[in-house]
Structure 1
Amino acid sequence: MRAIVLDGDDHYRITELDTPVPGPGEVALRVAYAGVQWGDTMVKDGLFPVPRPFVPGFEASGHIVAVGPGVDANRVGEAVTALAAGGAHAEVVVVPAVLALAVGELPLRTAAAFGWSTPTAYDLVHTVARVRAGERVLIHGAAGAVGGQAAQFARLAGAGRIVGVAGSADRAAYAARSGFDEVLLREDLPAGLGDERFDVVLDPVGGPTRQAGLSALAPHGRLVAYGALGGHAPVLADTDALLGDGRSLMTYNSALLSRTHPERLADSARRALGLLVEGLVSVDVTAEYDPSELGLAVRRLREGATRGKSLLRVAGRFDTPSGAAGA
């Protein structure tokens, strides 16, 4: 099969590899589309160490072509969206069967955009923060795939006011389409919040943004940290002060959950997928790339030029001879 490999020289290359075979509890998926997400930037930048050469790609859609021991053989031919630990930027990827979700008639393009972002947004709102009717929600990274969908899930949960934060004016304008009541620029924080306090803050940024988020919590408010896009500067929290106001600092790590309790992640993913199929939430694909353009896709994501979701077209697109697939 053809696959994109990240070599030790830090370049992507299209090459020929043996087709992977599913083991116990696994399925092999012939990939139609694969997502491009923040994990790809972390791998490329060495922040998420993996042995190289490495086939990147953490989410895909397509049809199951083989199953391993312990998996129902009737799943062969099933259209699915799949969450992977890597390897999705290839013609075939092997994933745990529990994390390959049947999508029925949902277009495979939409199913790939579902990716990690939709179940992550669902869990942030429903499982961790447990947004209640009438609550005020502040969402950082509002123009990203997770932020935009978190706003949709929060609205469905009955949130009374949803404020987004974006890094630039054009990203704020894009985020406004996801149903935020207001979108602020990160450079205007914390002054732009005035005296407003929030019941829930969703923060993938970290550092000073996280510190300010703790200060913006209302009594009994919950801040959920689920990334460190702004760097890994430590955030100091006075637990006694938090206790006095009933405020909470929580974390969410979907990649860890997929390894420790994959059935929990799968349950949330199925619930989120049901809402997507019903049309109650949507995913926004803003860019598609060929395999030879993966380097460009990852670079644009890292630089903040990406809005919503980017996809890699895989089926029938590995026509480029073995060689470079972008820096």
Structure 2
Amino acid sequence: MKAIILGADDQFRISEVAEPVPGPGEVAIRVGYAGVQYGDVLVRAGHFPIPRPFVPGFEAAGGIVAVGDGVDETRIGEQVIALVGGGAYAEVVIAPAVLAINAAGIGLRDAAGFGWVAPTAYDLINSVAGVQAGDSVLIHAAAGGVGSLAGQFAAAAGAERIVGVVGNAGQVDYARQFGYHEVLVREEFPDAVGEEKFDAILDPIGGATRVANLARLAPHGRIVVYGNIATFEPVTVSANDLLIQGQSLLTYNSNLASQINPKRLADSAARAMTLVADGSVRIDITAEYALADVETAIAHLAGGATRGKSIVHVG
């Protein structure tokens, strides 16, 4: 079968490799589309210690063609979006059966856009930040895959005010489509919010932005850290200062969740899928690439040129 291989020289190449076979608790999926996500950027940059050569790709939408021991054979033929630890940029990928989420209600193309971003955005808003009716919410990277969904999930949870922050002025109008009452450019933050405080803040940025976010947190507010787009330099936070205001600093790691408690992640994905299937939340796919153009797709994401979600047409 054809697959994209990331070599030790950091180059992506299409190669012929053996078709994988599912083991116990696994399914084999013939991939129609694969989602492009930030894990691809981190792997290429060496932030994950994954041996090379490696077949990248962490989101695979397609049909189950074989199952391993312990998996119900009636799942063969089921249309799914699979959350995997690699291998999605290939004609066939192996996935844990528990993380192969039924996607019959939305179609393969949208399923690839659903990927990790939908359950991540759902958990950030509902499971971690605990957004409730009447809350005010600040969401950074509002034009990205997670951000474009998080604004919608916040609205579905009943948030009263939702403010987004984007990387440049060209993304402002785009982000406004996704439930945001106001959208700011990052260089305007935090001055443009004045003295406004927020009950929940989603922060994948880090550095000076993280420090500014802490200063804009309301009493008993929650800031959720789930990435470091700007810098990996640590930010020191005083637990005593948080305690005085009853504030919480929380983190979320979806990859770790998939390893420690995959059933819980799958449950969140299923709840997010219901909201997408009934039209409450919209996945916006803005770019589609051929398998041979995976390197370009990842470079665009790394450079901040991507809005919404990008996918790769595999077969």
Name the TM tier (shorter chain): over 0.9
- Residue 180 of structure 1 is matched in structure 2 by 180
Superposed, 1:1-327 pairs within 5 Å as: 1-315=1-315
Deviations 1:202-252 (A, max 9, x none): 001111111111110000000000001111111111111110000100000
Deviation at 1:173, TM superposition (A): 1.9
CA distance in 1, matches of 2:185, 2:103: 36
The list of structure 1 runs, each at least 4 consecutive aligned residues, that deviate by more than 4 angstroms after superposition, is: none
Q: Which amino acid aligns with 1:273?
A: M
Deviations 1:286-317 (A, max 9, x none): 000001111111111111111000000001xx
Q: Which runs of 5+ in 2 are unaligned?
A: none
RMSD (Å) for aligned C-alpha atoms? 0.7
Residues matched between the structures, number: 315
CA distance in 1, matches of 2:110, 2:280: 14
Deviation at 1:105, TM superposition (A): 4.0
Q: Which amino acid aligns with 1:162?
A: I
**What percent of counterpart residues are identical?**
57
Q: Which runs of 5+ in 1 are unaligned?
A: 316-327
CA distance in 2, matches of 1:106, 1:144: 20
Deviation at 1:49, TM superposition (A): 2.2
CA distance in 1, matches of 2:73, 2:117: 29
Deviations 1:161-193 (A, max 9, x none): 000001100112211111200011111122111
Q: Which amino acid aligns with 1:120?
A: T
Q: Which amino acid aligns with 2:76?
A: V
Tell me the TM-score normalised to structure 2 length.
Answer: 0.99
CA distance in 1, matches of 2:252, 2:241: 22
Deviation at 1:48, TM superposition (A): 1.8
Deviation at 1:104, TM superposition (A): 1.8
Deviations 1:107-150 (A, max 9, x none): 10011110000000000011001101111000000010101100
CA distance in 1, matches of 2:232, 2:41: 15
Q: Which amino acid aligns with 1:74?
A: T
3-state SS of the aligned residue for 1:163? strand
CA distance in 2, matches of 1:292, 1:156: 38
Tell me the TM-score normalised to structure 1 length.
Answer: 0.95
